[in-house]
Amino acid sequence: MRRRFFGHNFATVYRFEVVRTLKKKSFWAGVLAFPILIAGIFGLTYYAGNQSETASADLVKEKFSIALTDDSNIISPETIEQVGAKTISNRADGIKKVTSGQLDAYFYYPKDLAKNHVEIYAQSVGIFENSRYQAVAQSLLQASTLAQTNAETIAILTNQVNFEVQTFRNGENYNPMMEMIAPGIFLVLFYLIIATFGGQMMNAVVEEKENRVSEIILTTIRARTLIVGKIFAFLTLIVIQMAVVLGFVIAAYLVLKNHLNLPSFDLSQIPLDPARILVSFLIFTSSLMLFSGLLVAIGAAMPTAKEANQFFAIPILLIFAPLYIAPMMITNTTNSAISFITFFPFTAPVPLMLRNAVGNLNVWEVIIGIAILTTTAVTVFIIAARLFQTGAVEYSKKLSLKGLFKRKTA
Amino acid sequence: MTTKNIIEVKNFAMRFGNKTVIRDLSFEVHRGETFGFLGSNGSGKTTTLRALLGIYEPTHGELLINNQPYDVAGKTRIGYLPEERGLYKKESVIDTMVYFGQLKGMLRDDAYQFALEYLAKVGLTGYQQMRLDKLSGGQQQKVQLGITIMGDPELLILDEPTKGFDPVNRRLLMDMIADLRKRGATIMMVSHQMDEIERLCDRVLLLKDGAAKEYGTVAAVRKKYDGAHIEEIFIQIYGDTDEIGERFSLNEMKSSDKRNRRKGNK
């Protein structure tokens, strides 16, 4: 039985691309590398922090002979007694006792601590271990000061006072930062996908050329079926990749939340504006289509992945450049430069998504923006298919624009 | 309606920039025959095949398969073995064959079964799960040929099918072509193996200077050259050009050398 309709071929390409990628060890290595790396760094930082805390505590506990001279009059006698230190009235004597080996350490606290240094003279016990002297000198100061200060002052001075801000719009509680979260996720997702997977997307069709398969492919299925099938397969793989990473992060959070005192997230506090979320989703989808097409078009014009990668900077520049005027997008929407980048198709995704997230995009701007993105995406797809077909047998050279319009496609 | 000719090429011309590759070419391939498409290197054979299959747009003329320009979504079942060979090198033999079988309209199970049977036939049993880049060049060629004949093609277009094959595998391929022909397939092949062309083909076309130099049944072409074999005819037609070219180059070099020596003497 023969099947040769678009749906069959699309499904065949889609399945082939998804299955073969999922079978690759390199795919799973790439997927798991990120959470493992993050977990590794997190674990290492936690371990190092723990070790350092333990070491500091051990150092403070460690007994060694200390003497001090306190011209600042801050160090309390109780604190001096607690660490078993002695007081010396003369600074020169203290230094002499250290140099002669009678004392392990001598601290000199000058009169005005804001202007002068605390001087520490001590026996060297190693590059890292020498830090114990400063730790003790500092803890003497802190303990003495805390004993003389009330808890409120300490909280103020150490930025531990909590604030709760409530703003209102149209008489209702309104938090613009919280409002941005749900629609803003699509912008973050867009950046993440293009920056992380753009290179792979660009190389999606180079493989056919590099492996000299394009002639057989083009005499078997339409170029656009191949391209659409590959892009959808690629997007599916991105979803799988992100789901794995997200699952890993959520599992790690739930397991380690109590052990590491991680902050709690109350997702119910995030406001959900269905209209803005829908607009963001539509802009995100059309932007992703446009940039997928652009990346595939670049790849289709190049004979090898290596040469294609040299042009990866172009789409990256197009999505990152608007960030430089992001504050203007929020505060000055009437500016002509903002209007230009909002409606120029290749820069439009970021301003449209950002402005929608902050809520300063009008309805007509939404309609025009999505229309421009969708139309351009379709055009770019057609060009990408033509590039692939025209450049199919250009195994060793880049396809020029002249070549594209001069020569043929089926 | 089934016509006598499966392929019709009418006044085909092909230019790349200022370079004319095909000047004016017309020929037909009859349904069920084996047709040899011959010419020296760079004479435009591959260009003609690519134009026939819609990869190139002709500068002029018509190239028809079953009375219409080739359309991948059309009804004609084609098996094409291009000159530039290649497969998805990092994929397994079976996955690649099943993929192409499905793209040619086969059901997955049918494609799988066909692939296993074909691999057994060409001595590649047990290789189905192996990655293609782990196979030898000859083994990869066999897989590619298997892909070409998947989907029961009614027209096989083979561009130098024996390239890279040892004599044993070449014989295997030729037997396979003969078998396909027996089953009613039309075969158009480009080859430099003149003995095989003579043995397998009903009719031939010898391409020279962008047009058909000789075109007709093997017997008729041989008769025109006093019963000479196709290989001798080939050398007679193309050998002169190469010889002239060589002589021209040598003369150029010699005179250039003389000029240089004269300059040096001064």
- Could you list the pLDDT tens digit for every one of the 266 residues in chain B? 577 889 999 999 999 888 889 999 999 999 999 999 998 888 899 999 999 998 888 999 999 999 999 988 888 889 999 888 888 888 999 999 999 999 998 999 999 999 999 999 988 999 999 999 999 888 888 899 999 999 889 999 999 888 878 888 888 888 888 888 888 899 999 988 888 888 889 999 999 888 899 999 999 999 999 999 999 998 888 876 544 444 444 444 445 455 555 544 43
- A216 CB neighbours in chain B (<8 A) are 80, 82, 100, 147
* Residues of the domain holding A254: 177-406
The tokens for A300 are: 């289709």
Of A235, A230, A252, A162, the closest CA to residue A194 belongs to A235
The tokens for A315 are: 């789409």
- A1 CB neighbours in chain B (<8 A) are 106-107, 110
Q: Give the C-alpha separation, A219 to A213, whole Å.
A: 10
A408, pLDDT greater than 80: no
Residue A70 main-chain phi, psi, to 5 deg:
-115, 90
- B89 CB neighbours in chain A (<8 A) are 211
The domain made up of B1-76+186-266 has a fold known as Rossmann fold (3.40.50)
Residue B158 main-chain phi, psi, to 5 deg:
-115, 115
H/E stretch holding A355 reads helix A349-358
pLDDT at A148: 81
Of B149, B94, B148, the closest CA to residue B126 belongs to B94
Q: Is residue A31 part of a domain?
A: no
B95:A20 CB<8 A: yes
The domain ranges of chain B are 1-76+186-266
Q: Report the interhelical angle of A349-358 vs A176-202 (nearest 10°).
A: 160
For residue A142, give the CATH number of its domain.
Answer: 3.40.190
A389 touches chain B (CB under 8 A): yes
A402 touches chain B (CB under 8 A): no
Q: Is B29:B6 a contact under the CB 8 Å cutoff? A: yes
Name A353's Cβ contacts closer than 8 Å, sequence gap at least 6.
A183, A184, A186, A187, A190, A280, A283, A284, A287
A255 and A341 in a single domain? The answer is yes
Of A235, A180, A200, the closest CA to residue A359 belongs to A180
- A27 CB neighbours in chain B (<8 A) are none
Q: Is residue A3 part of a domain?
A: no
The tokens for B179 are: 């078998």
When pLDDT is averaged across residues A32-48 and rounded to a whole number, the result is 80
Of B46, B43, B38, the closest CA to residue B214 belongs to B38
A222 and A304 in a single domain? The answer is yes
The 8-class DSSP code of residue A37 comes to: H
Report the residue from A3, A219, A409 with minimal CB separation from B78.
A219
A265 and A334 in a single domain? The answer is yes
- B100 CB neighbours in chain A (<8 A) are 216, 220
What is the Cβ-side half-sphere exposure of residue A3, based on CA atoms within 13 angstroms? 16
Strands B186-190 and B155-159 come out as: parallel
- A6 CB neighbours in chain B (<8 A) are 73
A220:B99 CB<8 A: no
B86:A13 CB<8 A: no
- B53 CB neighbours in chain A (<8 A) are 218-219
* Final residue before a domain boundary, out of A125, A157, A189: A157
Beta-carbon pairs below 8 A across chains A and B: 87
In order of A119, A130, A135, B138, B191, the CA distances from A127 in angstroms are 18, 6, 14, 66, 79
Q: Which is higher by pLDDT, A57 or B185?
A: B185
Q: 């989907």: which residue's tokens?
A: B151
Q: 């002068």: which residue's tokens?
A: A116
Report the residue from A1, A207, A212 with minimal CB separation from B84.
A212
Q: Is residue A316 part of a domain?
A: yes
Q: Is residue A167 part of a domain?
A: no
B55:A9 CB<8 A: no
Confidence of residue A1 (pLDDT cuts 50, 70, 90): very low
Report chain B residues touching chain A, CB-CB < 8 A.
50, 53-58, 69-73, 77-78, 80, 82, 84-89, 91, 95, 99-100, 102-107, 110, 147, 151
* Final residue before a domain boundary, out of A157, A189, A224: A157
pLDDT at B60: 93
Total structural domains within chain A: 2
Q: Give the C-alpha separation, A38 to B48, whole Å.
A: 57
Q: Is B148:B81 a contact under the CB 8 Å cutoff? A: yes
Q: Is A203:A299 a contact under the CB 8 Å cutoff? A: yes
* Burial readout B45-54 (b: 16 or more C-beta within 10 A, e: otherwise): bbbbbbbbbb
pTM exceeding 0.80: no
A281 and A202 in a single domain? The answer is yes
Q: Give the C-alpha separation, B266 to B255, whole Å.
A: 17
pLDDT per position as a tens digit, A114-143: 888 999 999 888 887 788 889 889 988 988
A77 and A151 in a single domain? The answer is yes
A183 and A312 in a single domain? The answer is yes
pLDDT at A389: 80
Q: Is residue A150 part of a domain?
A: yes
Residue A119 main-chain phi, psi, to 5 deg:
-100, 135
The 8-class DSSP code of residue B151 comes to: T
A13 touches chain B (CB under 8 A): yes
The tokens for B111 are: 């494609």
A130 and A245 in a single domain? The answer is no
The tokens for B195 are: 């003995």
A104 and A196 in a single domain? The answer is no
Interface test with B, best of A16, A23, A227 (most B CBs within 10 A): A16
- B87 CB neighbours in chain A (<8 A) are 211, 213
Could you tell me which chain A residue has the CA closest to the CA of B51?
A410
Q: Give the C-alpha separation, B115 to A213, whole Å.
A: 19
Q: How far B55 CA sits from the closest chain A CA (Å)? A: 6
Q: Give the C-alpha separation, B175 to B162, whole Å.
A: 12
Q: Is residue A96 part of a domain?
A: yes
A361 and A267 in a single domain? The answer is yes
Exposed, middle or buried by CB within 10 Å (0-12, 13-18, 19+), for A165? exposed
The tokens for A329 are: 């997008």
A110 and A245 in a single domain? The answer is no
Q: Is residue A369 part of a domain?
A: yes
Q: Is residue A43 part of a domain?
A: no
Q: Give the C-alpha separation, A16 to A24, whole Å.
A: 12
Letter for the amino acid at B89? K
Total H helices, total E strands in chain A:
18, 6
Report the residue from B70, B89, B103 with minimal CB separation from A9.
B103
A79 touches chain B (CB under 8 A): no
A212 and A292 in a single domain? The answer is yes
